[in-house]
Chain A
């Protein structure tokens, strides 16, 4: 019983110090630091959202497939990361070098077996199919890894960088860097390579692309795999940041769909912008309104933006004449 007896409460001292010795100016500076801190936390959160939503918007942009199973692939990647970290001792973020291609390959096979046969069917069919797929993946994850909550805790999980009185959680910073790296690579592939031109051509006018020798079906499979691979990288980061269960994908897909719609369906830059907005809105709401509104307010923003710009932030109106090849 002896521990901690006669403790001087630093909290009380700290408050008194702040209230009595610092002037109004210091109070304002403190509020500003708090604001910057919250902004940074929001930007870091947005970075992770961007990585995962990027893959989802890519798949929609090229194929008009709303992949409800995207969150499930994300959790699959998190479980794979857990196994690599727990079983082989591989750093979870470094493990994304393995999970990204592996999950991407699973995405490719999934596309060939399940999505391709009904790609030209009405959009509702693909929504139903991918929703079913999400349930199958959830059940498989529960069977393989169990339904217990799983956490990945590398050595730096509890640590932060401290810069000018601000704390930057190491896991978020590293995760954010991986997200930027993957997104930049994805952006370069889309804008600077022949494959990227083919993808964009297939997205804008599939029939026209086919005419100039692009195998739209093969491009579609590749895009699906790329999109899922991004979820693979995202899963590694998400797994380090938050505990997860097989059923966690519902929460993710709800956020991701909102981000993709806000950004303009199919627009990668739009998704990134929307993801950052979403993360910052969530964080600032928790800090300045109430944490109970934090998960709702971003959806209010989506609603407001769509009232003014039905096509989303950077989206363009869908072509009515484009027919799937």
Chain B
């Protein structure tokens, strides 16, 4: 029986396509076979803001990754293979970070990825990882926006997203006896995807507790001059200032407050006061007394592996590790746990599934996640006391029972 010409062409096309598909699959299979060479180091790629506006946390994160790499290689490697970091500099630029992660995947052909710093940069970078179906553990990037996109491969290696960052502090303030509780609050905030939800989270709790909002403004990310904002806040005379800050703006605001002789009874800042000596030097150590903030890591915490991490950091870079270095180290710990649980570096979907179902012990404590990759946990609340940081909340993680009731600039020892 003769087959009509059009059908013949269709059959030929189907057969050709099928053959190509089979050949293609065979090639892929061969490729994966060849690349599972156990002698080769596991390449882990990350791009960090080593220059530009976010160079401060970027540099610390690089140190954290390097401590993790050194410790893992000294203990026999990851899944029996040495770990090699490939770190690029995104210059704090959203466009560069996309190019960098694309290059890490397609040109450097890294086996695994680690995240970058700040929500601003992790937002686009995590999208690149998702498109390539690669696990993306980010050490910073607490913006809830990162976890509202239905992504399956992004995980955050800190205790809570930004909207819950100040929860412990806000609940504590709300629970104070009425004569000690602030009656009014001001909320100046940098226009940043991390700081804004943090402050909104605190404000919601405090307003519910009856703390009246008297000033609320968002300022542009490149704001240098804080005198006018402080002057406006001073006119409203709030009892509490909750400042959504990154670093330099936190310093700028505090200095402007001192210049204007504006001393609210309470001062809470996001991020800035966690920068240890740099913060104390920048605002003047005498002005740090009583400042409160949320933080993910305490060098003196009794979490598994923390002592070893702090010692190795000191050996490699000197001094105490900054919070950002600890967060990066924890991201490495999460990645390691996922790889070891799955047993290879190829099945990234299995790693993500494993993380969704399990918890990981890190130097920040036990981390566990929701289905969207956002963490389930609580931050520590730190307070500057006599020129040093003490952890005051939650009670079970506190390093002291003494809480300085308010901001006492000029009072630190």
A129 to chain B, nearest CB (A): 19
Taken together as a complex, chains A and B put the C-alpha atoms of A147 and B400 apart, in Å, by 33
How many residues belonging to A are interface residues under a CB distance threshold of 8 Å?
Answer: 59
Residue in A41, A147, A291 whose beta carbon sits within 8 Å of that of B219 in the complex:
A291
CB-defined contacts of B59 to chain A, threshold 8 Å = 146-148
Cβ-based interface call for A185 (8 A): no
Query: Number of contacting residues on B, CB 8 A?
Result: 59
Q: In the complex, are the beta carbons of A167 and B260 less than 8 A apart?
A: yes
B247 at interface (Cβ–Cβ under 8 A)? yes
Mark the stretch among A111-119, A150-158, A227-235 that contacts chain B: A150-158
| A interface residue numbers (CB < 8 A to B) | 1-7, 9-12, 14-15, 34, 37-38, 41-42, 45, 138-139, 142, 146-149, 151, 153, 157-160, 167, 169-172, 241-248, 250-251, 254, 282-283, 286-287, 290-296
Select the stretch in B141-149, B280-288, B353-361 that faces chain A: B280-288
Least CB distance from B243 to A in Å reads 12
CB within 8 Å for A291 and B223 given contacts A158-B258, A245-B53 = yes
Contact of A283 among B56, B225, B287 (CB under 8 A): B225
Specify the chain B residue showing the minimal Cβ separation from A292.
B218
Identity of the chain A residue whose Cβ is nearest the Cβ of B179 in the assembled complex: A6
| Separation of A170 and B260 alpha carbons in the complex (Å) | 11
**B75 contacts partner chain A, Cβ-Cβ < 8 Å:** no
Please judge, given known A-B contacts A148-B278, A158-B284, whether A4 and B225 are in contact too, CB under 8 Å. Answer: no
B282 adjacent to A243 (CB under 8 Å): yes
Q: Is B237 a contact of A14 with CB atoms below 8 Å?
A: yes
With contacts A245-B248, A251-B224 taken as known, whether A34 is within 8 angstroms of B51 at the C-beta atoms is no
User: Residues of B with Cβ closer than 8 Å to A?
Assistant: 50-53, 55-56, 58-59, 91-92, 179-180, 182-184, 188, 191, 217-220, 222-225, 227-229, 231-232, 235, 237-239, 247-248, 251-252, 255, 258-261, 264-265, 275, 278, 281-284, 287, 401-406, 408
From the candidates B92, B219, B220, B228, name the one contacting A247 in the complex (CB within 8 A).
Answer: B92
Instruction: Report whether A245 and B255 are in contact in the complex, using a CB–CB cutoff of 8 Å.
Output: no
Q: Which of A4, A38, A295 interacts with B222 by CB under 8 Å?
A: A295
Instruction: Enumerate chain B residues within 8 angstroms of A138, measured Cβ to Cβ.
Output: 51
A149-B239 contact given A5-B179, A251-B224, CB 8 Å threshold: no
Chain A residues contacting B265 (CB-CB under 8 Å) are 4, 7, 9, 11
A and B contact pairs by CB, cutoff 8 A, 27 listed: A1-B401, A1-B403, A3-B405, A4-B265, A10-B237, A14-B237, A41-B231, A42-B228, A45-B225, A138-B51, A147-B56, A149-B247, A151-B282, A153-B281, A158-B287, A169-B259, A169-B260, A242-B252, A245-B248, A246-B51, A247-B92, A254-B222, A286-B229, A290-B217, A291-B223, A292-B219, A294-B219
